[in-house]
Structure 1
Amino acid sequence: MIRIENISKQLSHRILFIEASAALNRGEKVGLVGPNGAGKTTVFRMITGEEQPDEGQVSVDKGVTIGYFNQDVGEMEGRSAVAEVMNGAGPVSVVAAELHALETAMVDPERMDEMDEIIERYGEVQARYEELDGYALDGRAREVLAGLSFTEEMMDGDVGALSGGWKMRVALARILLMRPDVMLLDEPSNHLDLESLIWLEAFLKTYEGALLMTSHDREFMNRIVNKIIEIDSGSLNSYSGDYTFYEGQRALNEKHQLAQFERQQAMLAKEIKFIERFKARASHASQVQSRVKKLDKIERVEPPKRRQAVSFDFLPAPRSGEDVIVIKKVHKKYGSRTIYEDLDFTVRRKERWCIMGINGAGKSTLLKLVTGSTNPDLGTVALGASVKMGYFAQHAMDVLDGESTVLEMLENQFPRAGQPPLRALAGCFGFSGDDVEKRCRVLSGGEKARLVMAIMLFDPPNLLVLDEPTNHLDLDTKEMLIKALSEYEGTMLFVSHDRHFLGALSNRVLELTPDGIHQYGGGYTEYVERTGQEAPGLRS
């Protein structure tokens, strides 16, 4: 359906692709992977024709329809979320808008003298709407939006009043409703809660078209894709299988390549030693010449490229008392909405609690109560003896000083530390060499998240409170964070929609539901086994 043939592409001074080739065939579900900046979005843009390769070509079979979702959703306002989603389905959305306007006109007392014409036009438009299967489309649009956690009120309200994250869901719903021959989805799992993520997973599994997607959620990727295309140093490498298979195969390939490289290096060293030893002897001249020619003709094996991985190293945290957080009889309301009523909850040393619950259940509110960012209406929230807390919140990235460099931010936070340890810290969190001179305003979301973590962990706390810590992290960085947190000896309280993160790090679950608050010993994996569901909002 789509063929990428011998493409080369350069962006300013950066070479993205060198004679790279790949294909997307009918029915394939493909994960596109590679480090940040490798050119994943450029691949999408070349397929849609928004960009052209410098050399080679990208061809799409005649008549193939393509739906492209990316993070840049553009302006949305003046229509309901349902109308905006249906807009992706073509002419029916225009007819739907006129039908809605005529319905409004029919109950407008100031337009009574036009009523005959309005009713006549309404009949014509309604017939056209039925012809285009509009009523079924409206129902399908609502079904998709409900799957992405929209309430009826949000569906019918002005899309312009929604936050950026919810507008992204509208843009995604538009592509899903369109059901094109090929879907290109650039990070569709961003900004989704766990319930929406699991619904989207089920939707994409039953989608019959071809799919090319990027995602920083390995569990999501594993359950959907049957092929991986990897961008690696200008090449496009294809692997049959899911993300876990690709990881294993890549490691195996690198191991074989290293063994081949080392064997060739040993052989070359032996040959060069012979040439050096006998080059001055006339009796060995022909043998020396023969070996020099042989070396010139040998195709050199390259060593495997070492992937730059962020390495998080925790210094030992001071020991806290046994009771780390004690919450007693807490009540909390926002307006008329009750979040907590008589909440009792205790966290003990070395426990790792993940907080589960649908949107609005009070997950972030609980973290804010613990960190003192908000106060209970009634009851008490107390930290135990010798507790030193580190809090990672989404808004923390917004308060970085845009004009300061990475190094200046660290120096401002730790004026007595001196440059060498701060540069070493920056290096651990992926800011090596000149990267420490980058101003905060030009950092990507992932870089900002890493900088906030570096500041939080330099002088290590013994209680970590984390609100969606992996949202902006790529797969490799997320893996390193999980590895480091696995070795962390303090106490953790966290919210995440990443099932791999939840399963790897939790040993307790606090579930917030409309029926009440439930505590589970054992981590997320045990919670799924006991409840039969991966998220509270999916329970019957």
Structure 2
Amino acid sequence: MLTLTELSLQRGGQWLLERVSATIQPGQRVAIVGANGAGKSSLFKLILGQLQPEAGEVSLPGGCRLAHMAQEVEATDRSARDFVLDGDVELRRLEEALADAESRGDDHAQARIHGELDLHEAWSAPRRAETLLRGLGFVDADVERPVASFSGGWRIRLNLAQALMRPSDLLLLDEPTNHLDLDACLWLENWLSRYPGTLLFISHDRDFMDRVATHILHFDNRALVTYTGNYSAFETQRSERLAQQQAGYERQQARIAEIEDFIRRFKAKATKARQAQSRIKSLERMERIAPAHVDSPFQFSFPEADKISNPLLSIRQGEAGHDGRTILRGINVSLLPGSRIGLLGPNGAGKSTLISALYDSGTLTAGERTSGEHLAIGYFAQHQLESLDLDASPFLHLQREAPKASEQSIRNFLGGFGFHGDDALERIRIFSGGEKARVALALIAWAKPNLLLLDEPTNHLDLEMRQALTEALQRFEGAVVVVSHDRHLLRNTVDDFLMVNDGAVTSYDGDLEDYERWLAERRTEDVRTPSPGADDSAAKSPEVGESADDRKARKRAEAALRQKMSPYRKRQETLEKRMGDVQIRLNELEETLADAGLYEPERKNDLKAALGAQSEARAELETVEMEWLEVSETLEEMAGEQS
């Protein structure tokens, strides 16, 4: 599908790739990983023809249909649906040709174009576009809204939907989950797992890569190294290589000791067996993957606060909202030193509203908010990046907070966040989103908080910085409340979950896998959701005029439907996993068949066996896909009966 031959590339006087070769086979889903600035996005530009290499070539098969996700979108009055439909370039071409034929009164041309439109399934295109929009978190009312009315993050979602709408043989996605919530991430994982073409994607979300990727392409010292399997498999394989390198040995051992210490502390505190075992297994897994990050440029901690209160903060019988509108009621939260809470809930349920209410009393419309005498809050949200002084450097930002601090102490501190030498003195104006996020986190850590309120802290952060943040949060002795679509960070830093849904905040006893199942079931229900745009706190009230008895009856009916659908959902999940396994086997067989040596006369039997296995795998995949379609149609029919 894609071949790189003796490829060399430099940008800004620095070599990114030197004489590298790689082959991507049809049907593979390849995650591209590497340090910031290694050349991941430049590789995409090479494939798209937007850059030319210094040497070598990039080759695609003739007639290859290519789709990619744009990083920016201009404000336009086109509706969200039309914008997404624009991704199907061939559909738009046929529509224009039909309009031209109609204006000329050319009946023959009209008949021919109608036939082409029918082959293109043009009749279903609007429905397919709306399905993509709903999957990415938009609601029906947004379909006709102009693109210009959406905020930046939601426009990025529109770009993603447009890329998915375009029929393609090769799909390129650059950080597709950056502006998605957990619900949309899970939907996208399922969509991409069924994508029939070849996928290349850049991501810093390890769980997303584990679910989607069949191969990893790693930028490593101006070379490209291919690994078979998902991101966890890559970490294990790379760890084995790095563990043999003496230069990184001592730092690796120090990290493992830190993780083991955290596991012991966690085991001592765990009281809920189910949750404890799930998280302990995840933490034990970190011991195996940690060596893959021994060469990380980031290593920092949140310094211990000078003083601490117990409790740090509490809200009793609180109500929260904004613009005269109540979003959440009956808020009862008490944060003690060591509390580690993750907020779950669908987009628009009010997670950001709750974070804001914890940060200050301005969002509370009723109830009592009591803060400890020594409460010191570190608050991270996306608007924190916008409040940075763009003409100041990271060094100056910290110096303003502590004028008496020595220059060396500030430089040492910033070094843990990846700002070394002159980088610490650069104006923030020229920084990327990830670099600005690191500055904001450095400012928070410098202030020695005892309560961290983090609203999507991993947006724009690369894998190594996410790993460093995860380890820093593990060592943090204060309280943490976090909203994140990064499941790895949640699993490894959170002890308890709160569910924010239907205007209430309640304790959630399940784990992230339970929450994923809850989200899947919720998709089949006819639930009113808010219109996206700015803050996810703009939740709408329950249906006006619905009595308590009606609501109970509706809930009973929904529960009965979920129970009826449960075996079909389980079968659907089993079939999806089986399809993924068969596809991986097919990819491996295709790699085997791509080996020229297999076609030597003496290997005739090996070739025959490989072709036979390929035929069997294709037949099995077709059978499983047909059953999956039947089960999916049954679920859709059940959902339709309920609505």
Q: TM-score range by the shorter chain?
A: 0.7 to 0.9
Counterpart of 1:52 in structure 2 is 52
Within the candidate set 277, 300, 303, 1:312 is matched to 300
* Offset of residue 375 of structure 1: 2.9
Choose 376-385 or 16-25, whichever is displaced more. 376-385
Distance across 1 between alignment mates of 2:227 and 2:120 = 41
Counterpart of 1:526 in structure 2 is 511
Counterpart of 2:442 in structure 1 is 454
* Offset of residue 132 of structure 1: 4.8
Q: Does 1:233 align with 2:232?
A: no
Counterpart of 1:90 in structure 2 is 89
Counterpart of 1:244 in structure 2 is 232
Counterpart of 1:287 in structure 2 is none
Any idea what SS the aligned residue of 1:381 has?
Answer: strand
Q: Does 1:326 align with 2:314?
A: yes
Structure that is richer in helix per residue:
2
Residue 306 to residue 502, structure 1, CA distance change in 2 (3 Å) = closer
* Offset of residue 99 of structure 1: 11
* Offset of residue 337 of structure 1: 5.1
Any idea what SS the aligned residue of 1:174 has?
Answer: helix
Distance across 1 between alignment mates of 2:474 and 2:134 = 36
Counterpart of 2:617 in structure 1 is none
* Offset of residue 462 of structure 1: 1.0
Any idea what SS the aligned residue of 1:236 has?
Answer: strand
Distance across 2 between alignment mates of 1:212 and 1:511 = 34
Structure that is richer in strand per residue:
1
Counterpart of 2:412 in structure 1 is 424
Any idea what SS the aligned residue of 2:429 has?
Answer: helix
Q: Does 1:509 align with 2:508?
A: no
* Offset of residue 166 of structure 1: 1.1
Any idea what SS the aligned residue of 1:403 has?
Answer: coil
Choose 328-337 or 338-347, whichever is displaced more. 328-337
* Offset of residue 94 of structure 1: 6.3
- Structure 2's unaligned 5+ residue stretches are 250-291, 525-561, 563-643
Residue 484 to residue 444, structure 1, CA distance change in 2 (3 Å) = same
Any idea what SS the aligned residue of 2:188 has?
Answer: helix
* Offset of residue 314 of structure 1: 3.0
Counterpart of 1:22 in structure 2 is 22
**Does the 8 Å contact 2:342/2:482 carry over to 1?**
yes
Counterpart of 1:177 in structure 2 is 165
Choose 130-139 or 183-192, whichever is displaced more. 130-139
Residue 144 to residue 326, structure 1, CA distance change in 2 (3 Å) = same
Counterpart of 2:125 in structure 1 is 137
* Offset of residue 155 of structure 1: 1.3
Any idea what SS the aligned residue of 2:297 has?
Answer: coil
* Offset of residue 57 of structure 1: 0.4
Any idea what SS the aligned residue of 2:330 has?
Answer: strand
Distance across 2 between alignment mates of 1:146 and 1:167 = 14
Counterpart of 1:482 in structure 2 is 470
Distance across 2 between alignment mates of 1:441 and 1:342 = 42
Choose 323-332 or 29-38, whichever is displaced more. 323-332
Counterpart of 1:346 in structure 2 is 334
Counterpart of 1:37 in structure 2 is 37
Any idea what SS the aligned residue of 1:88 has?
Answer: coil
Which AA in structure 1 matches 2:80?
A
RMSD: 3.0
Residue by residue, what CA displacement relative to the aligned partner does 1:457-501 show, whole Å, maximum 9, x if unpaired? 123111111111111110011001101110111111111111111
Distance across 2 between alignment mates of 1:476 and 1:536 = 34
Any idea what SS the aligned residue of 2:485 has?
Answer: coil
Distance across 2 between alignment mates of 1:449 and 1:131 = 48
Distance across 2 between alignment mates of 1:135 and 1:61 = 30
Q: Does 1:165 align with 2:153?
A: yes
* Offset of residue 323 of structure 1: 2.0
* Offset of residue 515 of structure 1: 6.9
Residue 182 to residue 40, structure 1, CA distance change in 2 (3 Å) = same
Any idea what SS the aligned residue of 1:156 has?
Answer: coil
Residue by residue, what CA displacement relative to the aligned partner does 1:160-180 show, whole Å, maximum 9, x if unpaired? 211111111111111112231
Distance across 2 between alignment mates of 1:248 and 1:218 = 13
Which AA in structure 1 matches 2:91?
V
Residue 6 to residue 21, structure 1, CA distance change in 2 (3 Å) = same
**Does the 8 Å contact 2:18/2:223 carry over to 1?**
yes
Counterpart of 2:635 in structure 1 is none
Q: Does 1:77 align with 2:69?
A: no
* Offset of residue 64 of structure 1: 1.0
Residue by residue, what CA displacement relative to the aligned partner does 1:206-260 show, whole Å, maximum 9, x if unpaired? 111111101010000111111111111111111111111111211212234559x
**Does the 8 Å contact 2:329/2:504 carry over to 1?**
no
Residue by residue, what CA displacement relative to the aligned partner does 1:4-31 show, whole Å, maximum 9, x if unpaired? 1111111121111110111111010101
Distance across 1 between alignment mates of 2:309 and 2:96 = 62
Residue by residue, what CA displacement relative to the aligned partner does 1:69-105 show, whole Å, maximum 9, x if unpaired? 142x2324121111111111124346779999xxxxx
- Structure 1's unaligned 5+ residue stretches are 101-116, 262-303
**Does the 8 Å contact 2:353/2:363 carry over to 1?**
no
Counterpart of 1:491 in structure 2 is 479
Residue by residue, what CA displacement relative to the aligned partner does 1:346-401 show, whole Å, maximum 9, x if unpaired? 22221111111222211111111111173322222221242221111211111211
Residue 151 to residue 531, structure 1, CA distance change in 2 (3 Å) = closer
Any idea what SS the aligned residue of 2:189 has?
Answer: helix
Distance across 1 between alignment mates of 2:431 and 2:239 = 30
Residue 204 to residue 515, structure 1, CA distance change in 2 (3 Å) = same
Residue 97 to residue 315, structure 1, CA distance change in 2 (3 Å) = same
**Does the 8 Å contact 2:215/2:227 carry over to 1?**
yes
Q: How many residues are matched? A: 476
Q: Does 1:66 align with 2:66?
A: yes
Choose 160-169 or 305-314, whichever is displaced more. 305-314
Distance across 1 between alignment mates of 2:326 and 2:145 = 24
Residue by residue, what CA displacement relative to the aligned partner does 1:264-312 show, whole Å, maximum 9, x if unpaired? xxxxxxxxxxxxxxxxxxxxxxxxxxxxxxxxxxxxxxxx997342001
Residue 144 to residue 336, structure 1, CA distance change in 2 (3 Å) = farther
Distance across 1 between alignment mates of 2:206 and 2:294 = 21
Any idea what SS the aligned residue of 2:299 has?
Answer: coil
Counterpart of 1:192 in structure 2 is 180
Identical positions, percent: 34
TM-score (norm 2): 0.69
* Offset of residue 538 of structure 1: 5.2
Q: Does 1:437 align with 2:436?
A: no
Which AA in structure 2 matches 1:77?
T
Distance across 1 between alignment mates of 2:216 and 2:70 = 19
**Does the 8 Å contact 1:216/1:473 carry over to 2?**
yes
Residue 416 to residue 319, structure 1, CA distance change in 2 (3 Å) = closer
Residue 516 to residue 413, structure 1, CA distance change in 2 (3 Å) = closer
Residue 482 to residue 365, structure 1, CA distance change in 2 (3 Å) = same
Distance across 2 between alignment mates of 1:8 and 1:451 = 33
**Does the 8 Å contact 2:321/2:363 carry over to 1?**
no
Q: Does 1:383 align with 2:371?
A: yes
**Does the 8 Å contact 1:331/1:342 carry over to 2?**
yes
Distance across 2 between alignment mates of 1:3 and 1:432 = 37
Residue 257 to residue 507, structure 1, CA distance change in 2 (3 Å) = closer
Which AA in structure 1 matches 2:421?
G
**Does the 8 Å contact 1:511/1:536 carry over to 2?**
no
Distance across 2 between alignment mates of 1:532 and 1:87 = 33
Aligned counterparts, 1:364-383, within 5 A = 364-372=352-360, 374-383=362-371
**Does the 8 Å contact 1:513/1:536 carry over to 2?**
no
Residue 467 to residue 531, structure 1, CA distance change in 2 (3 Å) = closer
Any idea what SS the aligned residue of 1:374 has?
Answer: helix
* Offset of residue 403 of structure 1: 1.3
